[in-house]
Each structure stands twice: as structure tokens, then as C-alpha cells.
Amino acid sequence: MNFYQKVYSLVKKIPKGKVATYGQIASIISTPRAARMVGWALHVGAEENKAPWQRVINSKGMISTTCLDHPKDLQAYLLKKEGVEVKKTENNYFIQLDKYLWRPKKAKK
């Protein structure tokens, strides 16, 4: 299984109503310094691989996408539909990591 496939497989395990961070995904698949690559993997293939890209945010609890295909407003909307509280500041959206962070008991690669 290649890096992208590992990302999609793991992201599919994040339950509705929870989020994970790019770095968390990278660490779980044994590539802890590859958080940006996790973002890129979701950018190029999440929809095709049916991976819920909206459930992955940055380590500050912020929606940080800059993708025109998946704008911040869309990600916030999809998370709200799943029951995640999203707070908007001037130009950003935040999620309480202490409340919504996915903590898998034992992640499988």
C-alpha cells in the first residue's frame, strides 16, 4: 500500500462528528514529518477514494485548506452537518480539538 492509499484508508476510519489533524494522520501511518503530504493526498484524491477530507484539519484546530475546489466554507458546512461545532473568526474557522479530536484506540496501518 502506498502513502496515498494509507492516508485514504485511515481518513475513512475517522467517525462522523470527529476530526483529525494532518500531522496526526502522518504519525499514525509512520511518516510523522509528512503532514503537508497528507494534505496533498487529500487534495488530489479524497473524492475519488471516498475519503471524508473535511474531517482533517490543522494542528491548531483550524480549517486551513486553500483549495478552490474545497473552500473553507464548504469544509465548515460539511463538518457542521456531521455535528461538529465550528466557530468562525474574521477569516478562519476553528474546531475545539479537546472536544472533537479523534483518538483511535489502536490505529491500523
Domains of the chain (ranges, CATH numbers): 3-100 (1.10.10.10)
The reported pLDDT for the residue numbered 103 is 95
Predicted TM-score (pTM) of this structure: 0.91
Q: What are phi and psi of 94, to 5 degrees?
A: -125, 150
pLDDT score, position 91:
84
Amino acid 69: pLDDT: 65
Q: Is 8 exposed, middle or buried (0-12, 13-18, 19+ CB in 10 A)?
A: buried
Is residue 60 packed enough to be buried (19+ CB in 10 Å), middle (13-18) or exposed (0-12)? exposed
Mean pLDDT, consecutive 10-residue stretches, the chain (109 aa), reads 96 98 97 95 94 96 79 91 96 95 76
Position 90 scores a pLDDT of 87
Cell 487534495 belongs to residue: 43
